[in-house]
A and B are shown apart, each in its own frame.
Chain A
Amino acid sequence: MTDIKAQLDVLPGLDPRAPLLQVNDLHVEFRTRDGVAKAVNGASFWLNPGETLAILGESGCGKSVTAQAIMGILETPPGHITRGEIRYRGVDLLKVREAERRRVRANRVAMIFQDALSALNPVYTVGFQLAELFRVHRGASRADAKSRAIELLDQVRIPAAKSRINDYPHQFSGGMRQRVMIAMALALDPEVLIADEPTTALDVTVQAQIMGLLAELQRQRNMGLILITHDMGVVADVADRISVMYAGRIVEEAPVYDIYARPAHPYTRALLESIPRLDLKGQQLTAIRGLPPALTAIPAGCAFHPRCGYAKEPCRQDPAPPAYAVAPRRTARCHFFREVLGE
């Protein structure tokens, strides 16, 4: 197995000492009949081995599109990456040929999707869909691929893996299906795992089990994990760092405790104030006023200004606020971050 990984290392420019994953100034737009939707507008972040980065934002903020851009599975057209780089161990994946890019997928960067029922092919057994990876990427024999698939199901703790391998996705419960998804993503030992709302479709108790499993597998394999979610509750337990995304930009990036203790961007602050808290029981929750902007018409300057209580004249004018260094390893794109921090 390691020798096959080594073969993959012919990726030109691959540098084992370079950061695991680095996204710089990524721009993605969708060209549709009704205009150009700017889904991602200069997102930048990095990921280290063994680390969990949560990308947090409301639906439509561009977080899933970012994930698909990293995987290279954007629907093109209408989706186009117009600028930026996605560096995996120093190699810009956007400049790699499609055949090589394909080998990066699942082998080095893998992904888990939100709704496992629709994300699995309904007409093939779970075993086929798992074994397919070994057969296509590793040239494994039918029997070998099957036994590896059973091993995987065991690893994600699906009971009676040996017999369930012949079952179809619709015969599994929601939680078990998500375990199958995880098994599929981990099959080829990727170094980066992107989980796009992995627990949103599940019951709360099952959510905790799945998150626990993910965290454990991540520790075992020292993987970098990008957790995409809109749920601040999920993030607090497992993430090391958080990138808050709004209208296709990362507006704040910080270690998880700092962000919960003292948000530096008004949007992060508003998000935190909108979750119910036990210690503040009986008080009114504050909702964020207004709606996220349409991606075809993102406001000039700071995209959040129409909904922001701190907004003043500079916020309404281009260019958008730069990423101010708030503290070591901490940035915020807000001209008035000091006010927000309450300094």
Chain B
Amino acid sequence: MSDPTLPATIDTRPRSLSGDAWDDLRHSKIFWVSSGLALLILLMAFFPTLFTSANPADCTLSRQYAGPSGGALFGFDYQGCDVFARTIHGAGNSLWVGLLATLLAGVIGLFFGMAAGYFGGAVDAILSRGIDIVLGIPFLLGAVVFSGRLSGAGDDGVTAVTLTLGLLTWTSAARVMRSSVVAAKGQDYVAAARMLGASPARLMFRHILPNAFAPFIVVMALLLGANIAAEATLSFLGVGLKGDAISWGVQIAEAQKHARVAPAPLIWPSTFLAATVLAFIMLGDAVRDAFDPKLR
């Protein structure tokens, strides 16, 4: 708190919203904790061997429900697989599917949202009805049908799940993009730029997109968390990753049946999944708080 008796010193640096927001973020503990957690998980996903040298596919029935030993910190499951190794390696598929699906949703949403917001009129009407239709299908029900339809026999389901999630979750990104573009279009400075003869492309990239960027990033972070959870749910239901694919969802589905005898194979992938989702949601929250202080 500044001393009110002192004359106010005037900060002459230009202060922008993003500058202020970054300042807020740098002082936000939640931001650092969640980014740290997210980085750790990414590391685990792309370099699982840094964390465990055991082979997650190496399962021996004789080790069923065996307690922790050596590298197998969490013991062994029903099939006699190393729970720790499977949990670490599970991060890869979960993250990979989540990232790709979110990227796909982001690209579709960016494109449709921009088009709807910028052109308005008929384009907007058609795209908005399209969004309504996608939202008219409860997410998991759509995903169940979609994913079943997309996955071929004998494949591990990674492509099918990625496409399914991407094609069903772009609507929030599109809506945010659309409203940001509409809002920016109404601003006097954009009208001024247009009157000065700025081209549509210049208007879009120079004046409109920078304003839409922050809300878009927030939606992406939240969506990433949601998509990772959704992958687990689909795998749990048996329409996600299958066959030999290792994923937290598959693990949870398997362990749930035997939770009474052996809770560890249920608890660990659950914890990792929750921590991952938490990291991205917290990240999204922290960024939103920084950019939208009135909602705090």
Binding site for B on A (CB under 8 A): 33-38, 294, 296-297
CA distance A189 to B3 in the complex (A): 45
Whether A296 pairs with B8 at a CB distance below 8 angstroms is yes
Smallest CB–CB gap between B236 and chain A, Å?
43
Minimal Cβ-Cβ distance residue in A for B6: A297
Within 8 A of A (CB), among B1-50: 1-8
Minimal Cβ-Cβ distance residue in B for A297: B8
Smallest CB–CB gap between B47 and chain A, Å?
43
Contacts between the two chains (Cβ within 8 Å), count: 20
Whether B1 pairs with A35 at a CB distance below 8 angstroms is yes
Interface string of B166-185 (1 = CB under 8 A from A): 00000000000000000000
Name 18 A/B residue pairs within 8 A (Cβ), A-sorted.
A33-B1, A34-B1, A34-B2, A35-B1, A35-B2, A35-B3, A35-B4, A36-B1, A37-B4, A294-B8, A296-B2, A296-B4, A296-B8, A297-B4, A297-B5, A297-B6, A297-B7, A297-B8
CA distance A140 to B224 in the complex (A): 57
Residues from chain B with Cβ under 8 Å of A294 in the complex:
8
Besides A36-B1, A296-B2, 6 other CB < 8 A contacts? A35-B2, A35-B4, A36-B4, A37-B4, A297-B4, A297-B5
Per CB-CB distance, the 3 closest pairs between chain A and chain B, nearest first, are: A297-B8, A35-B2, A36-B4
CA distance A297 to B8 in the complex (A): 6
Smallest CB–CB gap between B21 and chain A, Å?
16
CA distance A37 to B1 in the complex (A): 12
Residues from chain B with Cβ under 8 Å of A36 in the complex:
1, 4
Smallest CB–CB gap between A292 and chain B, Å?
13
Residues from chain A with Cβ under 8 Å of B7 in the complex:
297
- Secondary structure at the B interface, as helix, strand, loop or mixed, is loop
Interface string of B94-128 (1 = CB under 8 A from A): 00000000000000000000000000000000000
Whether B1 pairs with A38 at a CB distance below 8 angstroms is no
Bin chain B's interface residue count: under 10
CA distance A307 to B4 in the complex (A): 20
Residues from chain A with Cβ under 8 Å of B3 in the complex:
35
CA distance A36 to B5 in the complex (A): 10
Minimal Cβ-Cβ distance residue in A for B8: A297
Residues from chain A with Cβ under 8 Å of B8 in the complex:
294, 296-297
CA distance A36 to B4 in the complex (A): 6
CA distance A34 to B3 in the complex (A): 9
Smallest CB–CB gap between B73 and chain A, Å?
45
Minimal Cβ-Cβ distance residue in B for A37: B4
Smallest CB–CB gap between A181 and chain B, Å?
27
CA distance A33 to B8 in the complex (A): 15
Residues from chain A with Cβ under 8 Å of B6 in the complex:
297
Minimal Cβ-Cβ distance residue in A for B1: A35
Q: Which of B1, B3, B4, B6 has the most CB of A within 10 A?
A: B4
CA distance A35 to B8 in the complex (A): 11
CA distance A37 to B4 in the complex (A): 8
Smallest CB–CB gap between B205 and chain A, Å?
35
CA distance A297 to B3 in the complex (A): 9
CA distance A296 to B3 in the complex (A): 9
Smallest CB–CB gap between B35 and chain A, Å?
25
Residues from chain A with Cβ under 8 Å of B2 in the complex:
34-35, 296
Residues from chain A with Cβ under 8 Å of B1 in the complex:
33-36
Residues from chain B with Cβ under 8 Å of A33 in the complex:
1
Residues from chain B with Cβ under 8 Å of A35 in the complex:
1-4
Q: Which of A33, A36, A294, A297 has the most CB of B within 10 A?
A: A297
CA distance A33 to B296 in the complex (A): 14
Residues from chain B with Cβ under 8 Å of A38 in the complex:
4
Smallest CB–CB gap between A48 and chain B, Å?
36
CA distance A38 to B4 in the complex (A): 9
